[in-house]
Amino acid sequence: MRTAAPVPTTAAPDLVLRCADLLEAVRARAPLVQCVTNTVVQNVTANVLLAVGASPAMVDVRTEAGPFARVADALLVNTGTPHEETRDAAVEAATAAVDAGTPWVLDPVAVGALPVRTALAHELLALRPTVLRGNASEVLALLDGAAGGRGTDATATTDDARAAARASAGRRVGAVAVSGPVDLVVAPDGTVVRVANGTDLLTRITGGGCALGAVVAAFASVTADPGDAAVAATVAYTVAAELAARDAGGPGTFQPLFLDRLASLTPEDLVERSRVSTEDGTGTADSTPAVPARSER
Amino acid sequence: MRTAAPVPTTAAPDLVLRCADLLEAVRARAPLVQCVTNTVVQNVTANVLLAVGASPAMVDVRTEAGPFARVADALLVNTGTPHEETRDAAVEAATAAVDAGTPWVLDPVAVGALPVRTALAHELLALRPTVLRGNASEVLALLDGAAGGRGTDATATTDDARAAARASAGRRVGAVAVSGPVDLVVAPDGTVVRVANGTDLLTRITGGGCALGAVVAAFASVTADPGDAAVAATVAYTVAAELAARDAGGPGTFQPLFLDRLASLTPEDLVERSRVSTEDGTGTADSTPAVPARSER
Amino acid sequence: MRTAAPVPTTAAPDLVLRCADLLEAVRARAPLVQCVTNTVVQNVTANVLLAVGASPAMVDVRTEAGPFARVADALLVNTGTPHEETRDAAVEAATAAVDAGTPWVLDPVAVGALPVRTALAHELLALRPTVLRGNASEVLALLDGAAGGRGTDATATTDDARAAARASAGRRVGAVAVSGPVDLVVAPDGTVVRVANGTDLLTRITGGGCALGAVVAAFASVTADPGDAAVAATVAYTVAAELAARDAGGPGTFQPLFLDRLASLTPEDLVERSRVSTEDGTGTADSTPAVPARSER
């Protein structure tokens, strides 16, 4: 099903334990996660947040989005269906989040060739999101000015986006999370983490990536480390998806089962099932940190 | 699971029979229910209306919303995601509904601290909705100017909202329906009805309350009594939810099962399963009506 | 369940084989289908496209919609919830599609009495869509200026729309697809095809017709014959629905099962299960073609 990552890696048991702790923290605190996201996936995003233990709030209108981002525990901004009022709300919310110290996630859906969202995504990137999450084509298009895919087509691989992500993590953004068959997270200090959990079914439903962005935001509200937040959210999300896939008859029945599994997911599930590794050699957390991890937010 | 209401109440068998009759009437007439509602829950709202036997119409654009409200059998206005054109459509539709005698429900989602929707909800309240439906925080925020919750968080209890609801029912609005672990309905004559059916799963999916608002509108089209409409809709909705919860593995599988149960719900199910009570003492329907119930519409 | 069509018809085994080939072609090419559609059904439309093997892209904002329609493999324009920016995007996308030769489908939801969408639908019709898809009331309202139903209520039958469809197919539009208990497709050459597959459950969920419009667009990208595209899409969609209905407990569980069945549908399923017929006598493909079928796109 999944191909092994080409870079030598080692298992990361401590990181997995932190993931389990962060899941417990999300459940305990029920963070209020504001979403300025596309209309295609608003419903599934809200349901995924509820299932994971967070409290969704789709506050995406002008003059409400900014003040709300000051009181929310986290913010997701997703550039799909960027209608005029939604764009204004996105910038307003991200600006307020930065000012108030609210952690926020940028998901630059289908950025690259499409002019409106590409300009919006660059404007948002300049505000330095806590986490940038996308597929490899989107991350490359935003960080390197690559042409991007058509729509949400991901033609690049996560490893194609590795260098761009490492050059930007801890500088232009906090962490970078690149979704793919093996998910790749680059922490602000340059550590590269790979998460090999998941199921192809997540790519056969709409919102499989978008809703993960919201979950990353939820986790970013319970830790000051954006890399840990991105890894823990990815692990929780993909482990639940894996469990759901075992009982699914296809992409339709997968969706309700996935919500059930997210809702019943335990920290122990993460410890037992996560397949998380960090790169060996240069770029590991302890040897060559680009910036101190704890300054991130 | 559910705590008993603190006020002495008595069972209301006649009211339950009326609920069963109203369910039959909705099925027989298939009322056309216009919804000006938030984009997060449009899909589930339409599916819930179809399942209960009504015909949904999400007509929410300028210059269409008003004329349509004159021919629709009922109207729902929900203040979530109140984009500029949606706000115009909401006011246009409610104004036309009042003029044409179309019963309509106001659901003031997340009203209170958020400025755009709060102003909109007050403008709509001034048009005197047939039924006001919300959680306790929203009802208090709108009727009493309380601060409201964060998003759809309900921190107040239904009994907290009882006094405000009684002061407004039959005056500023027709009936008031307050959703919570035990739902509370105040009829225009001041009668307080409690419905103890339901499941926590309704709070763990998005749209659990919003879709109920649309069902109240459907029921308001088949009776001139807004209190009965609100009670019958609440009973039908929560009994179906209860039945679905028995077979659900979590909030994901609950949703399709809930639609199935709504679609197959019988008047007999309501008679057998509803847990409806009215308050004893002052404020009952026969002793101290605030206004004549039949003047409502 | 289904009543026989009143016009004498013959089975169409060759057409069924072409349907099976087109399903394989959609699976092989994974066409990128742009959707400018209503917010109620965006999610289910995207999931249906993914299930059938296409790649959805909900690009519906000004200045993105036009350029995208030039690179997309097909376009769907649906007139439900026609907010101002969406209307602009619809016209922009359809105009670009015509110019670039991108096949496109017009779904004139609830056209007739509602002024905004009726004007929009006529503007789009003047651009000559590759396929016009709607229920009988919508098709009659758009092509003949009939009053239309209330909302998506279909009060007319597919055979009521037959004459209007025949007068317009190959002239004002490519093909016409009229949804109903027995679906009716009129090819550009005037051939009338009936598809007797399906289930009542498709009318008891929201988006049952809207998502079919998107599937027609997907199939129109893999054949130059709009009639074949409409028939093949209808057959694939309704056969999958039929199979899902056998296991469904109601309209709720039907939906995930339908997506599963769409995803696992094989060309052999179509050959075995499709109930497709063409009219005898005048108007058949070989005797009185109104225009050459292959000039259509």
Taking the Cβ of residue C51 and every Cβ of chain A, the question of whether any pair is shorter than 8 Å is answered with yes
Within 8 A of A254 by CB-CB distance, chain C residues are 256
Phi, psi angles (nearest 5°) of residue B10:
-125, 150
B152: pLDDT strictly greater than 50: no
Q: CA A94, CA A69: separation in Å to the nearest integer?
A: 7
**Minimum mean pLDDT range among A77-81, A157-161, A243-247, B197-201:** A157-161
Q: Which of C175, C127, C126 has the alpha carbon at shortest distance from C294?
A: C175
Rounded alpha-carbon distances, angstroms, from residue B195 to B106, B134, B231: 20, 15, 8
pLDDT surpassing 80 at residue C171 = yes
Task: Answer whether residue B193 shows pLDDT above 60.
Answer: yes
Query: Element (H or E) spanning B240, and its range?
Result: helix B226-247
Query: SS3 of C124, please?
Result: helix
- Eight-state DSSP code of residue C161: G
Q: Work out the minimum CA distance from B250 to partner chain A, whole angstroms.
A: 4
Q: For the beta carbon of residue B62, count every other beta carbon within 10 angstroms.
A: 17
What is the distance between the alpha carbons of residues B258 and B265, in angstroms, rounded to a whole number? 10
Residue in B closest to C152 by C-alpha: B57
Q: What angle do CA C260, C263, C264 make, to 5 degrees?
A: 85
- Distance between CA atoms of C153 and B32, rounded to whole angstroms? 9
Provide the pLDDT confidence category of residue A12 given band limits of 50, 70 and 90. Answer: confident
High-pLDDT (> 70) share of chain B, %: 89
At B155, the pLDDT band (50, 70, 90 cuts) reads: confident
CB C103 within 8 A of CB C217: yes
Closest CA to C151 of B64, B169, B105: B64
Nearest CA in chain C to A203: C50
* Rounded Cα–Cα distance for residues B1 and B4 (Å): 10
Place of tokens 């953004």: A173
Give CA torsion, residues B112, B115, B120, B125, to 10 deg: 30
> Does C58 contact B at CB distance below 8 Å?
no
The pTM of this model reads: 0.92
pLDDT in tens, B215-236: 999 999 999 999 999 999 999 9
d(CA A206, CA A255): 10
Inter-chain touch B32–C81, beta carbons under 8 Å: no
E-only strand ranges, C123-208: 131-135, 175-179, 183-186, 192-195
Residues 6 or more apart from A245 whose CB is under 8 A from it? Answer: A199, A201, A254
Is 90 exceeded by the pLDDT of residue C149? no
User: What are φ and ψ of residue C294, in 5° steps?
Assistant: -80, -10
Taking a C-beta distance cutoff of 8 angstroms, is the pair C217, C75 a contact?
yes
* pLDDT tens figures, A47-102: 999 999 999 999 999 999 999 999 999 999 999 999 999 999 999 999 999 999 99
B115/A51 Cβ within 8 A: no
- Taking contacts as CB-CB distances below 8 angstroms, the residues of chain B near C255 are 256
Interface size between A and B, measured as CB pairs under 8 A: 101
Three-state DSSP at B113 gives coil
User: At A260, which amino acid appears?
Assistant: D
The whole-chain average pLDDT of chain B stands at 90
Lowest mean pLDDT among A59-73, A147-161, C35-49, C200-214: A147-161
Q: Quick one: how many helices (H) and strands (E) in chain C?
A: 11, 10
- For residue B128, the surrounding DSSP H or E stretch is none
Angstrom CA distances, C45 to C15, C206, C240, stand at 26, 10, 15
Strands (E), chain B: 9-11, 32-36, 55-57, 74-78, 104-107, 131-135, 175-179, 183-186, 192-195, 276-279
Residue of A39, A115, A249 lying closest to C64 (CB–CB): A115
In a mutagenesis test of the A interface, which of B61, B81, B203 is the best target, namely the one with the most A β-carbons within 10 Å? B81
Amino acid at A248: A
pLDDT in tens, A182-233: 999 999 999 999 999 999 999 999 999 999 999 999 999 999 999 999 999 9
Tokens linked to B162: 């009882």
pLDDT at site C151: 45
Residue B130 pLDDT greater than 60, yes or no: yes
Strands A32-36 and A74-78: parallel
Burial B164-184 (b: 16+ CB within 10 A, else e): bbbbbbbeebbbbbbbbbbbb
- The position carrying tokens 């939810």 is B241
Q: Taking 80 as the threshold, does the pLDDT of residue C22 lie above it?
A: yes
Look at residue A11 and give its three-state secondary structure.
Answer: strand
Does residue C59 sit at the A interface (CB-CB below 8 Å)? yes
- pLDDT of B156 strictly over 90: no
Query: Which of C81, C85, C117, C210 is the best mutation test for B, with the most CBs of B within 10 A?
Result: C81
Query: Touching check for C42 and chain A: CB below 8 Å?
Result: yes
Angle between helices C210-220 and C42-52 (to 10 degrees): 40
Locate all alpha helices (DSSP H) within chain C, ordered by sequence. 13-29, 42-52, 65-71, 84-100, 115-125, 136-144, 162-168, 210-220, 226-247, 251-264, 267-273
pLDDT at C108: 98
By C-alpha distance, the chain A residue nearest C248 is A253
Closest by Cα among A106, A88, A87, A109 to A98: A106
Q: How many Cβ atoms are within 10 Å of B86's Cβ, its own excluded?
A: 26
Calculate how close chain B gets to C122, using CA atoms only, in Å.
Answer: 16
Question: Residues 246..265 of C with a Cβ closer than 8 Å to B: which?
Answer: 248-256
Q: Which residue in chain C has the smallest CA separation from A254?
A: C256
Residue predicted with more confidence, A50 or B284: A50
Strand ranges (E), C7-73: 9-11, 32-36, 55-57
**Alpha carbon of A242: minimum distance to chain C alpha carbons (Å):** 17
Phi, psi of B122 (to 5 degrees): -70, -40
The per-residue pLDDT for range C183-235, each reduced to its tens digit, is 999 999 999 999 999 999 999 999 999 999 999 999 999 999 999 999 999 99
In angstroms, the first-to-last Cα distance of chain A is 35
Which residues from chain C sit within 8 angstroms of residue B261, using beta carbons?
250, 252
Instruction: Look over chain A and give the mean of its residue pLDDT values, rounded to a whole number.
Output: 90
Q: What are phi and psi of A184, to 5 degrees?
A: -125, 130
Please report all neighbours of C, defined by 3+ CB atom pairs within 8 A: A, B
Cα A82 from Cα B53, distance rounded (Å): 35
Please state whether A57 falls in left (phi above 0), alpha (psi between -120 and 50) or beta. beta
B262 neighbourhood in chain C, CB within 8 Å: 252
Single-letter residue type at B291:
V
**What does the pLDDT read at residue C182?**
96
> For residue B1, what are the CA distances in angstroms to B148, B159, B181, B196?
25, 17, 9, 11
A57–B207 CB contact, under 8 Å: no
Confidence of residue B292 (pLDDT cuts 50, 70, 90): very low
Residue C205's closest chain B neighbor by CA? B47
Tokens of residue B40, six digits: 């997060």
Describe the crossing of helices C251-264 and B42-52 by its angle, rounded to 10 degrees.
Answer: 120
The pLDDT of residue C156: 85
Confidence of residue A252 (pLDDT cuts 50, 70, 90): very high
User: What pLDDT does B23 receive?
Assistant: 98
Residue by residue, DSSP assigns B148-205 as --STT---S-GGGGHHHHHHHBTTTBSEEEEESSSEEEE-TT--EEEE----GGGGSS
- As given in the structure block, the two tokens for residue A46 are 């809200």
User: Residue A204, by phi and psi: left (phi above 0), alpha (psi -120 to 50) or beta?
Assistant: alpha
| H or E segment to which residue B116 belongs | helix B115-125
Chains that touch B (3 or more CB pairs under 8 A): A, C
- Whether the CB of B46 is below 8 Å from some CB of chain A: the reply is no
CB C148 within 8 A of CB C137: yes
H or E, element range at A92: helix A84-100
The pLDDT value recorded for residue A11 is: 79
How distant is the Cα of C64 from the closest Cα of chain A, in angstroms? 6
Residue C94 to residue C78: CA distance in whole angstroms: 11
Q: Provide the ipTM.
A: 0.91
Q: Find residues 192-231 of chain A whose CB sits inside 8 Å of chain C.
A: 204-207
State residue A148's pLDDT score: 54
A117 vs chain C: nearest CA distance in angstroms? 9
DSSP state of A190: -
- Chain B interface, best mutation among C39, C40, C47, C109, by max B CB count within 10 A: C40
Nearest to C30 by CA among C46, C52, C47: C52
* CA distances in angstroms from C64 to A19, A81, B61, C100, C144, listed in the order given: 39, 10, 22, 15, 33
CB contact under 8 A, A116 and C264: no
Q: Per-residue pLDDT tens for C6-19?
A: 556 778 889 999 99
Q: Which of C39, C47, C67 sits opposite A39 (nearest CB)?
A: C39
